[in-house]
Structure 1
Amino acid sequence: MNLLVIRFSSAGDILLTSLFLRSLRKRFPDASIHFLTKQEFLPLVAHSPYLDRVITINSSDRRKELSQRKRTLIRELGGKYDVAYDLHNSLRSRWFRVGIAQRVEVIRKPSLRKRLLVWFKWNRLRPIVPIPELYLRVGSRDGLANDGQGLELFIGETSNPLPPLRGKPTVGFAPGARHQTKRWPPERWIALGAMLREHHQARIVLLGAPEESHLCQLIADGISNGISGGIDGDSHAETSPLNLAGETTWLQTAAALDGCDLVVTNDSAIAHLAAARKRTVVAIFGPTVQEFGFAPYGTRMAVAEVPDLPCRPCTTIGGDRCPKGHFRCMIGLQPHHVAEIIEKLKAMAG
């Protein structure tokens, strides 16, 4: 049996397919399972033991290139796939899946219900269905079941870039996000980092993409400059903030997360990366809400948010600016509120 799973992007969504892939392999242990994605996300599935092959396309590929890729796949298989599971249901995935398999199963996205919540604040998204479980429904006809083991990311022999630190907690900060309104302000990160460093002698590790390196360095410098008293010289040096943003690959970032006792992150891919590595996660939600299904899944976690704001959610994915101009969903979330959530999680034992 030949099976194809389609999910082109983005990084977080690729990570959220891991429950589906594990369940598919358990259901069909002898099948040949292929995964179709964009080249840039190959590392996120390259080491998966549930896949026999990862097929990639380039973001720039047009219909001509995709047609050639389809013909090549069918020729190599000696026929069509038995089943294709489209976990994306985009224009590109719809075009690619035509004629590729004997049967196609397609995700049913709650797009209209999301828009109703954004536009009219009509909540038709209860109970919340996490995205990994929404993916799993695509395989319901084939008996895929939730084993309760959450997400996974396999990193092969990737080494941890963090120097060891004994007896003190390490906290990962991921202050970036693709959209500006999903970013908690830098001064809030600085204040939280100073609190954790002063009260727990925690080492703060900044994580993110190359384009977030400057933001992360700004926060690291602010934490270093803002610390006051209570820490002796040796401990102060040992727990200096470390900026790894732009210095690590996806898998090296995952390895660095393995060295963290706690991860504080915006609603971004690193939230799912941390969940896949079974870290304790505090996810900061501003313009988006948990009803969209993107809270960290299958790990110990909490969401930090400003409750009962009548303007939330204002978007399904974030934006460049607050449509109301006040940005209360992020500015209203104080560092001490996040610190209280961290204390309740008891993740700072070191």
Structure 2
Amino acid sequence: MIPNRILVIQTAFIGDVILTTSIVENLKAKFPNAQIDFLLRKGNEQLFENNPHVANLLIWDKKNDKLKNLIKVIKLVRKNKYDLLINLQRYLSTGLFSFFSKARYKVGYSQNPLSFSYNEKIPHVMSSGQHDIERNNQLIRSFTEDKAAKPKLYPTEAHYEKVKSYKTDKFITIAPASVWFTKQFPKSKWIEFLDQFQFDGNIYFVGAPGDSTLCNEIIEAASKEKCINLCGKMSLLESAALMQDAEMNYVNDSAPQHICSALNAPVTTIFCSTIPEFGFGPLSTNSRVVQTDKQLDCRPCGLHGYKNCPKGHFDCALSIDVTELNLV
């Protein structure tokens, strides 16, 4: 089958959407004349600014009138009558998009409650050593027969121009926050890292507006000069344009890690409660993973992390030697 219109569905968080761009890269390489649309949650659409491979974005507002907007997007998907629909999620809501789509050929994970409506379904297996882009690529392998492409973002000249003034001296970035507490390297450990870190360039803290307070607390407590809080002052693609040229980007197992992978930016990822074997590790050429060397029966405690350490000790993070983060 040579599809003319393709829909890719991924309504999860920023990092998941970035990794899904791997699918888009492979599809466009195989079907250069196809129109590729992408269905995602409201708030993530800026990731596709300037992406030459995505024609249209279908945006589901999940925060306001979720059900009403779900039905609205279902109707739009149904009206478009896609030749090929690829659903990368295992939840009922996205299964509804597929079920009512009128797409000629539908592919998704077998764990989706509505997978019986797929023409092709693939088991989603969290196997050791398989990265998420490889796992997702199985959904299109029967069409492309290719290895998984690297995820990719496309900052514009305007994005690079916006951050140009921050690149006059060597610099690193730190993205200290995470949606999940147990994925987040503790504030005390960031301070400890900075206090012993020998680096005479600029240190930029990046993140969302809500991360600004955390970053200010780290900066104020650390005995380090040239720390600058940029949280909330840049868009996602502006942050990507900045991180691309850093000496190193220090991140948690979260979205900034995947931004680095999509720009092949240097990255050091700190894994606390989660583990690289889940398949969400860094993909950059210059990438490192830092994690505890302490044997903990409770690690990993979950795929996504928790709001608090289930055991109360948070040893998976607190036992990490901060000198492991130093530039090599």
**TM-score relative to the length of structure 1:** 0.82
Q: Give the structure 2 partner of residue 30 of structure 1.
A: 33
The CA distance in 2 between the partners of 1:144 and 1:172, in whole Å, is: 37
Alpha-carbon distance change, 67 to 126 in structure 1, aligned in 2, over 3 angstroms? closer
Residue 57 (structure 1) aligned with residue 47 (structure 2):
no
1:209 aligns to 2:213 (yes or no): no
Where does residue 71 of structure 1 map in the other structure? 75
Deviation at 1:298, TM superposition (A): 4.1
Q: Give, in whole Å, the separation in 1 of the partners of 2:306 and 2:297.
A: 18
Alpha-carbon distance between aligned partners in 2 of 1:2 and 1:56, rounded to the nearest angstrom? 17
- How far, CA to CA, are the matches of 1:46 and 1:162 in structure 2? 19
CA distance in 1, matches of 2:111, 2:246: 34
The answer to whether residue 222 in structure 2 is matched with residue 253 in structure 1 is: no
User: In the superposition, relative to structure 1, how do residues 68 and 320 fare at CA in structure 2: closer, same or farther (>3 Å)?
Assistant: closer
State the distance in 1 between where 2:267 and 2:78 align: 42
Aligned residues: 308
Which residue number in structure 1 is paired with residue 121 of structure 2? none
State the Cα distance separating 1:171 from its structure 2 match. Answer: 0.9
1:320 to 2:319 alignment: no
Amino acid at match of 1:217: N
Instruction: Measure how far apart 1:193 and its partner are.
Output: 2.2
1:146, distance to aligned residue in structure 2 (A): 2.2
- Displacement of 1:280 in angstroms is 1.0
Partner residue of 2:227 out of 214, 220, 241: 241
Q: Deviations over 1:206-263 (max 9, x none)?
A: 011111110011112223xx14xxxxxxxx5xxx101011222212211221231110
Task: Report deviation, 1:135.
Answer: 1.1
Q: Deviation of residue 64 (structure 1)? A: 4.1
Cα deviation digits, residues 300-342 of structure 1 (max 9, x gap): 2111001332221011111111111111110001211222xx3
Letter in 2 for 1:320: K
Distance in 2 (CA, whole Å) between partners of 1:162 and 1:288 is 35
Map residues 155-304 of structure 1 onto 2, 5 A cutoff.
Answer: 155-156=155-156, 157-158=158-159, 159-161=161-163, 163-166=165-168, 169-196=170-197, 199-223=198-222, 226-227=223-224, 240-304=226-290
Please tell me whether Structure 1 or Structure 2 has the larger radius of gyration of its CA atoms: 1
2:89 aligned with 1:88, yes or no?
A: yes
Q: Distance in 2 between matches of 1:108 and 1:154?
A: 32
Note closer, same or farther for the CA distance 1:286–1:73 as it changes in structure 2 (3 Å cut). closer
Q: 2:22 aligns with which of 19, 24, 30?
A: 19
Provide the secondary structure at the position in 2 that maps to 1:16: helix
> Contact (CA 8 Å) 1:107, 1:134: kept in 2 or not?
no
The answer to whether the 8 Å contact 1:281/1:296 transfers is yes
Deviation at 1:73, TM superposition (A): 4.2
Distance across 2 between alignment mates of 1:125 and 1:147: 16
Post-superposition Cα deviations, 1:3-32, rounded to whole Å, max 9, x if no partner, equal: 110001210000001211010001111111
Residue 38 of structure 2 corresponds to residue 39 of structure 1: no
Is the 8 Å Cα contact of residues 107 and 135 (structure 1) preserved in structure 2? no
- Look up the match of 2:152: 152
Question: Aligned to 1:251, what secondary structure does the other structure show?
Answer: helix
The whole-number CA distance in structure 1 between the counterparts of 2:318 and 2:211 is 20
Listed one character per residue, the Cα deviations across residues 56-90 of structure 1 (whole Å, up to 9, x for unaligned) are 11113444433333333443x4xx21110001222
**Counterparts of 2:110 and 2:248 in 1: how far apart (Å)?**
34
Q: Which runs of 5+ in 2 are unaligned?
A: 113-124
Deviation at 1:144, TM superposition (A): 4.3
Aligned to 2:116: none
Residue 120 of structure 2 corresponds to none
State how far apart, in whole Å, the 2-side matches of 1:160 and 1:170 are.
16
Query: 2 CA distance for matches of 1:147 and 1:187?
Result: 38
1:133 aligns with 2:120: no
Describe the shift of the 1:191–1:163 C-alpha distance in structure 2 as closer, same or farther (beyond 3 A). Answer: farther
Where does residue 105 of structure 1 map in the other structure? Answer: 107
SS of 2:250's equivalent in the other structure is: strand
What do residues 12-55 of structure 1 show as CA deviations (whole Å, max 9, x unaligned)?
00000121101000111111111111120001123211111111
SS at match of 2:304: coil
Distance 1:165 1:57, change over 3 A: closer
- Identical pairs, percent: 26
Q: What residue identity is the alignment partner of 2:292?
A: V
Q: Does the 8 A contact of 2:162 with 2:238 survive in 1?
A: yes
Partner Cα separation in structure 2 for residue 108 and residue 300 of structure 1? 35
Taking the aligned partners of 2:164 and 2:217, their CA distance within structure 1 comes to 20
CA apart distance, 1:103: 1.4
